[in-house]
Each structure stands twice: as structure tokens, then as C-alpha cells.
Copies of this chain bind each other. A is one copy, B any other.
Amino acid sequence: MDEFQLIDRFFKPLSRPADASVRLGIGDDGAVLVPPSGCDLVMATDTVLSGVHFPTDCSPRAIGHRALAVNLSDLAAMAADPLWYTLALSLPSASARWLRGFTQGLSTLSAEAGIALVGGDTVRGPLAVTVTVVGCVPRGQAVTRTGGRPGDWVCVTGALGRAAAGLAAWRRGQRRGATLVPFLYPHPALEWIPLLRDFAHSAIDISDGLIQDLGHLLENRPLGAEIRLDRLGCDPEDLEGLERALWGGDDYVLCFTVGSRQWPALQRRIRSRNLECRAIGRIVPGPGIRCQGVMARRIHPIRMQGYDHFRNKVPRARHVRPSPR
């Protein structure tokens, strides 16, 4: 199988030529695309590497899913509808079996998200996948990290720490079961896009842990947050679970802020759409993230840490033991 056969067999079927916004898809020097009128575009890129973002013995299907999911999550966090993506794949060898699994992982999620593959590059090298996504949002309605205001509710769109629990199970040798799903097949919160546009003052997706990513919503602004630990949905006796909820990465739930006046209307929309949402705290004036609740004493002081590729050599979703007081 040569490079061109590989593209024809595995990647062209992902290109959805029926999409009217794709004038010309895979197979030329570039794709020709028609941007929707009256929209801003949102563009993001993320790489997943074997042994860093997924275990070396991870299934190709989970790798394909993850590479697209983490990028779709960025679009969701900006409240942008997915349009197109490109795929840069570095692969040690062209195994048809591996490629079948990988493209299944991509195609299931891309069909769900309504996003078309429009270009790519396949090279021989260490296993790494870079996806670049483009989405659209009505002009001026992108939700950014910087719009939070004092008094806003801090909300998350799902349970936290489940990916870290899945990773821990994987490390213990577990290879089947529901515990692994949030880790192997993270769900980008695309169903939240219209609600974010209508209600959110600011938003981010939680890839590096709640504390670090909530920190990005407060960064360079005279703002802090108070988090009610009892609202995270953790067992009060399970300190490890709480730590995963605060510092665990890879959950890809959204963290957003909403004004307290809009909160009742948002709650109605959430109920009517049967979505999961937890209001876990409030934005407050003055810097720092403070925790409240019966467990707070056990974890203070919160260390403002998350995953950093060049500072930490510890693996993602590690468990930070709080320093004893």
C-alpha cells in the first residue's frame, strides 16, 4: 500500500463530498471551502502523541477518536459549530488493520459532530496525530476565556475526574469496562454550543484539570473563584476521587461562567434538553481559587498546578497529594 492508495482507501471516505461548504476536498494542494456568511471562524489545533496523550498500547480506534475529540472540545468551548478538519498523521508503518480502526474512531465522531475531513498529510515517523479544526459562530458570538464577572456562577458540564479514574484503572492493567470509557473515548460537549452562545460569559474546556483550567478563566484579571467541594459530586470520604476531580486532566467537560440573573433561564434550558450541569462555585473579586465545604480543610492549600509539557515530567492526570498542614 503506497501513500496515495492509503489516502484513497482510508481518508477520502471521511471527506463527505456532499457537504456544500466543501467546494473541493482531499486530493489537491489544498481544500477549497466556502465559509458561511455572517460568521466568524474559530480555528484550533491539538497534537496527540503516543505515550504522552494516550498509552502506547491504546487501540487505534481510541486514538482516532481522541485526536478529533480534543479538537472538537476546543470548538465547543468557543461555542463554534464544527465545519472542517485536517489531519496530519505520523505513522511508523502503513498497517491496514491499524488504519481501519483509526479511521473508524475518526469517522464515528466526525459523523456525530458533522465535521468534514478536508485535507491531510501522512508521513512515516513516530506515532503522532495533529488535527486542526475550523468551526463557525455567528459574528461576535464566540465565547472566550475572558468574559467572567464577579458573582457569576462557575459551572461544569459533567462529572470531573472520571478520565483520571479511567487512566488509573488502565495503569492497574484493566483493559475492559465502563470505567475506561471516559478516559479512552472523551466526549466533546458539542450539545452545549447553543447554550454557551446564549448564556455563558466565559468558557474553557477542562483538558489539564479543573484547577489549572479554571485558573485560565481568571488569568490576568483581578478575579478569583470560590469552589464548593460538596458540589463536585465526589464521595466525601474519597480524598483520591476529590483530587482527581480538582487536578485530573482529560475530562473535556466544559467549565463556564454565567450571570446569576440568567441562571434560572439556563436551568430551564438544561432541563428541557436533559443535560448535565453542576454549579460548583462563584467568581469573586480578588485573585486565587478558594475551596469551601467539609473537605476543604483536608486539601488546603490548593496547589495551582495542572499538566505542563515542559515543566512537569509526571504523567497527565497524576494524583497530587496535598501538603499536610
Kindly supply a per-residue 1/0 record for chain A positions 305-319, scoring 1 wherever the CB is within 8 Å of any chain B CB and 0 otherwise. 000111100000000
Give Cα A43 to B42, complex, Å. Answer: 14
Give Cα A75 to B41, complex, Å. Answer: 19
Segment of A12-20, A129-137, A170-178, A221-229 in the binding face: A129-137
Kindly supply a per-residue 1/0 record for chain A positions 33-61, scoring 1 wherever the CB is within 8 Å of any chain B CB and 0 otherwise. 11101011111111101001100000000
Flag if B29 contacts A88 (CB, 8 Å): no
Segment of A100-108, A118-126, A230-238 in the binding face: A118-126
Segment of A76-84, A154-162, A240-248, A284-292 in the binding face: A76-84
When distances are taken between beta carbons in the complex, the residues of chain B under 8 Å from A126 are 125-126, 128
Flag if B33 contacts A309 (CB, 8 Å): no
Instruction: Give residues 1-29 of A contacting B (CB, 8 Å).
Output: 1-4, 6, 23-24, 27-29
Flag if A145 contacts B6 (CB, 8 Å): no
Q: Which of B29, B44, B52, B122 contacts A123 (CB 8 A)?
A: B52
Flag if A23 contacts B40 (CB, 8 Å): yes
Interface of A (DSSP majority class): strand
Flag if B142 contacts A32 (CB, 8 Å): yes
Interface centre among A41, A77, A123 (most CB of B within 10 A): A41
Asked if A31 is at the interface of the complex by the 8 Å CB criterion, the answer is yes
Copies in the complex: 2
- Could you tell me the distance in whole angstroms from the C-beta of A170 to the nearest C-beta in chain B? 20
When distances are taken between beta carbons in the complex, the residues of chain B under 8 Å from A41 are 32-35
Flag if B30 contacts A123 (CB, 8 Å): no
Give Cα A308 to B6, complex, Å. Answer: 11
Flag if A34 contacts B40 (CB, 8 Å): yes
Flag if A2 contacts B33 (CB, 8 Å): no
Given contacts A86-B132, A310-B3, contact A45 B119 (CB under 8 A): yes
Given contacts A86-B132, A88-B46, contact A2 B125 (CB under 8 A): no
- Could you tell me the distance in whole angstroms from the C-beta of A316 to the nearest C-beta in chain B? 11
When distances are taken between beta carbons in the complex, the residues of chain B under 8 Å from A52 are 123-125
When distances are taken between beta carbons in the complex, the residues of chain B under 8 Å from A2 are 308, 310-311
When distances are taken between beta carbons in the complex, the residues of chain B under 8 Å from A94 are 310
Asked if A250 is at the interface of the complex by the 8 Å CB criterion, the answer is no
Asked if A144 is at the interface of the complex by the 8 Å CB criterion, the answer is yes
Give Cα A34 to B40, complex, Å. Answer: 5
Give Cα A205 to B142, complex, Å. Answer: 36
Give Cα A130 to B90, complex, Å. Answer: 10
What are 10 A-B residue pairs whose CB atoms fall within 8 Å in the complex? A1-B310, A24-B144, A29-B75, A30-B74, A32-B41, A32-B78, A33-B41, A43-B119, A44-B119, A134-B134
Residues of A within 8 A of B (CB): 1-4, 6, 23-24, 27-35, 37, 39-47, 49, 52-53, 73-75, 77-78, 80, 84, 86-88, 90, 93-94, 118-126, 128, 130, 132-135, 137, 139, 142, 144-146, 203-205, 308-311
